Amino acid sequence: MIRVAAATIAVAALIGCGAQPDAAWPATPNLVEREAFLMGTRARLAAYDVSRDSGLHALEQALGILERTEAELSTWRDDSVISLLNRQPIGNAFALSDATCRMFRVVYETVRATGGTFDPGLGALTAAWDIHGSGREPDERSLAAARERSGLRLMRFDAARCTVTRDADATIDVGAFGKGEALDRVAASGLRAPWMIDLGGQVSASGGPPGERGWQVSIAHPHNREQRLFDVVLRRGSLSTSGGSERDLVANGRRIAHHIDPRNGRPAPFTGSVVVWHHSGLEADMLSTALYVMGPIIGMRWAAEQELAVCYLIPQPDGVVRVVATPEFEKLRAP
């Protein structure tokens, strides 16, 4: 079985415990690879194709899709669609493209389905806790003000007209769904060759290396990405991890999570990580964030009810990591 050299933890908002780096790829003429820095991470793309040229062409196309999605969604860019939306005057209906409208439909539905544990309308809260910087604990007044300005309930989505209207000065943070959407856009582009894309914390694939069941992805220790815990085999869909980061955030001397619980405006207390497989990258991305916020007790119950493929990695006081997975996730584990 060929193991994907899937990197894990990216910088900024886009993190994961995911897969750990591994030895070099096997020397086969038809394996092509590309690396690029995008979406705040070192992206790795690989494909097997009949010729090197066609493989490289396929990866070039995939890279173009990722770059265009980043240009559309990233709030690090002033001219992205999301930045424009975040700056729209209150009460102004902002028109979305078909692709963005489709994405928003799923995003709004997931906020509802996850009981608001996933809610990207929390730009004010991630700013108050300096989640994209080095972390800070806001005073109670600032926290209350940020909570008032948070939640997609403050941004009206009209699915029929494909518009979003800000009813208050709330902003969207794409940290928990941008990578998943980008990977889905690649998947929808109809690449023929078996491919795998690792965006650090989220890996999508279609097909597998010749003669293999799929791409082997290593799941790492939540606090040490060099330590491989077990492998899963990915043949389709997407594997998203929320949790352990190489970039620690500290507030008031305490390490805090990159994940805010929108229900109380505070960092989620869970200290492990959670891995989710879903046929949709967007859904996997959003669900891993929601499940991180829910924590393993509520999260496992919810995941089982929804028949989701979910695995929690729960560090114990003695340093051992407890692995708890739903039956759907167990099916992905490598023998």
Question: Which of positions 194-253 make contact with Mg ion (CB under 5 A)?
Answer: none
**CA–CA distances in Å: residue 157 to residues 104, 207, 286:** 8, 36, 18
Strand partners, 53: none
Kindly state the smallest distance separating residue 288's Cβ from Mg ion, in Å: 5
* Residue among 15 and 146 whose Cβ is closer to ligand AMP: 15
Task: Report the candidate in 150, 103, 93, 88 with the shortest Cα–Cα distance to residue 125.
Answer: 150
Kindly state the smallest distance separating residue 181's Cβ from ligand AMP, in Å: 11
Task: Report the candidate in 247, 244, 204, 235 with the shortest Cα–Cα distance to residue 66.
Answer: 204
> Is residue 70 near Mg ion by the rule CB under 5 A?
no
Distance between CA atoms of residues 121 and 23, nearest Å: 40
* Residue among 16 and 299 whose Cβ is closer to ligand AMP: 16
Residue 10 backbone phi and psi in degrees, to 5: -95, 180
Shortest-Cβ-distance residue relative to ligand AMP: 175
Q: Point out which residues bind ligand AMP (CB under 6 A).
A: 13-16, 117-120, 122, 126, 131, 173, 175-176, 201, 242, 258-260, 262, 285, 288-289, 292-293
**CA–CA distances in Å: residue 168 to residues 117, 133, 164:** 20, 25, 12
Region of 1-9, 187-195, 279-287, 327-335 interacting with Mg ion (CB under 5 A) = 279-287
Q: Which does 234 bind (CB under 5 to 8 A by kind): Mg ion, ligand AMP, none?
A: none
User: Measured in whole angstroms, how far is the alpha carbon of residue 229 from the centre of its chain?
Assistant: 20
Q: Which does 118 bind (CB under 5 to 8 A by kind): Mg ion, ligand AMP, none?
A: ligand AMP
Kindly state the smallest distance separating residue 280's Cβ from Mg ion, in Å: 12
- b/e string for 263-286 if b means 16 or more Cβ within 10 A? eebbbbebebbbbbbbebbbbbbb
> Is residue 289 near Mg ion by the rule CB under 5 A?
yes
Judged by phi (left if over 0) then psi (alpha if -120 to 50, else beta), residue 165 lies in beta
The dihedral formed by the CA atoms of 256, 257, 262 and 265, expressed in degrees to the nearest 10: 10
Q: Which does 259 bind (CB under 5 to 8 A by kind): ligand AMP, Mg ion, none?
A: ligand AMP
Site string for Mg ion, 139-178 (x = CB under 5 A): -------------------------------------x--
* Residue among 49 and 173 whose Cβ is closer to ligand AMP: 173
> Is residue 126 near Mg ion by the rule CB under 5 A?
no
Q: Which does 13 bind (CB under 5 to 8 A by kind): Mg ion, ligand AMP, none?
A: ligand AMP
* Residue among 55 and 281 whose Cβ is closer to ligand AMP: 281
Task: Report the candidate in 135, 120, 107, 121 with the shortest Cα–Cα distance to residue 267.
Answer: 135
> Is residue 131 near Mg ion by the rule CB under 5 A?
no
Q: Using the rule CB under 5 A, which residue among 49, 119, 181, 285 binds Mg ion?
A: 285
List of residues contacting Mg ion (CB under 5 A): 176, 285, 288-289
